[in-house]
Amino acid sequence: MAKLTFRTDLCKGCGLCVDFCPKGVLVLAKDKINKKGHHPVEAAYPEKCIACAFCATMCPDCIITVEK
């Protein structure tokens, strides 16, 4: 199964990964705030992930590692 890991404290909450995910796996965690003061991304539906790495390709801060 695909596995996503995030360097959460580097996330700036721009949401590009959320927009580009074809399966709707990711959301910005509205109930969390990281060190930078942003709502960081998290995998709300990790079971839907197909490891296409579109999220990581579009992440400007390179915080996502994709494994499968």
Partner 1 sequence: MVVFEKPKALADVSMHYCPGCTHGIVHRLVAEVLDELGIEGKTVGVAPVGCSVMAYNYFNCDMVEAAHGRAPAVATGLKRAMPDRVIFTYQGDGDLASIGTAETVHAAARNENITIIFINNAIYGMTGGQMAPTSLPGQVTQTSPYGRDTSHCGFPVKVCEMLSQLDGPEYLERVAVNNVKNVKNAKKAIKKAFENQLAGKGFSLVEVVSSCPTNWGMTPKKALEWIDEKMIPYYPLGVYKDRTAAKEQGGE
Residue nearer to partner 1 on the CB measure, 2 or 27: 2
Q: Is 32 in the site for partner 1 (CB under 8 A)?
A: no
Among 24, 32, 33, 36, binds partner 1 (CB under 8 A): 36
Phi-psi sector, 26: left (phi>0), alpha (psi -120 to 50), beta:
beta
Q: How many CB atoms lie within 10 A of CB 31?
A: 6
Q: How far is the CB of 24 from partner 1 (least distance, A)?
A: 15
By CB under 8 A, is residue 38 in contact with partner 1? Answer: yes
